[in-house]
Amino acid sequence: DAGVTQSPTHLIKTRGQQVTLRCSPKSGHDTVSWYQQALGQGPQFIFQYYEEEERQRGNFPDRFSGHQFPNYSSELNVNALLLGDSALYLCASSLGGGGYEQYFGPGTRLTVT
Amino acid sequence: SQQGEEDPQALSIQEGENATMNCSYKTSINNLQWYRQNSGRGLVHLILIRSNEREKHSGRLRVTLDTSKKSSSLLITASRAADTASYFCATDLYGNKLVFGAGTILRVKS
């Protein structure tokens, strides 16, 4: 049973560019959440997708957007990259409805220069 | 902003000793979860405790929850070098939106 997978593993971008990160949830899960983790900090919730719609959103600007596909996989897009967007981006999958543990992928390390 | 705070920020113990980490949070919760993270990679779920539970065990892990004090503790008994990692508590009010603390860095020396 495959767990949560994310691609790419590492990414280097320049300020102002756009980036797309991808996530495939654990088999049987229908909800995908994205988190940003800066160095030395705990993960911060970006948003959550369920039934192909954004269900919840954290305190992140509109430059951060996402999408969920019918097979429950998801993308995170970040436009107009800033140096401060450098972080580990984590995807987590879970069952819809809340109150369940989340399964995290290995993350994508994004470096903005 | 982060919901909770873990205490201590860092902990160094000898193999075989017990490790206790504490977490405080600010708002009402549906459940509280503990996660482990090795070397800045993905988080591994350790245990989930619901707001109506006071204590939960899983192998060498024991978690307590005191909703009146808005606090939780994670006890790892008979620690091993492989337990070296960062440990995070995360609260969930509804809908699986987890709010994490800053974490405790645990180092177990062999």
pLDDT string in tens for chain B (110-residue length): 456 688 899 999 999 999 999 999 998 898 999 999 998 788 999 999 999 999 999 999 999 999 999 999 999 999 999 999 999 999 987 777 899 999 999 999 99
Give the integer Cα–Cα distance in Å for B103 and B32. Answer: 14
Give the integer Cα–Cα distance in Å for A33 and A98. Answer: 12
CA of A48 to nearest chain B CA: how many angstroms apart? 8
User: Which of A4, A90, A100, A101 is the best residue to mutate to test the B interface, defined by the most B CB atoms within 10 Å of its own CB?
Assistant: A101
- Min mean pLDDT across A20-24, A76-80, B88-92 is at B88-92
Q: Is residue A2 very low, low, confident or very high in pLDDT (cuts 50, 70, 90)?
A: confident
Give the integer Cα–Cα distance in Å for B90 and B33. Answer: 5
- Min mean pLDDT across A17-31, A68-82, B6-20, B88-102 is at B88-102
B94 Cβ partners below 8 Å, 6+ apart?
Answer: A98, A99, B30
List chain B residues with CB under 8 Å of A59.
Answer: 1
Question: How large a percentage of chain A has pLDDT more than 70?
Answer: 96
Does A96 have pLDDT greater than 80?
A: no
Q: Which of A4, A39, A94 comes nearest B96 by C-beta?
A: A94
Contact A94, A29 (CB under 8 A): yes
According to DSSP, the residues that pair with B98 across neighbouring strands are B92
Does A72 have pLDDT greater than 90?
A: yes
The three-state secondary structure class of B60 is coil
Contact B36, B43 (CB under 8 A): yes
Contact A13, A113 (CB under 8 A): yes
The three-state secondary structure class of B73 is strand
List chain B residues with CB under 8 Å of A102.
Answer: 33, 45, 96, 98
* CA neighbor of B21 nearest in space, from B99, B86, B69, B66: B86
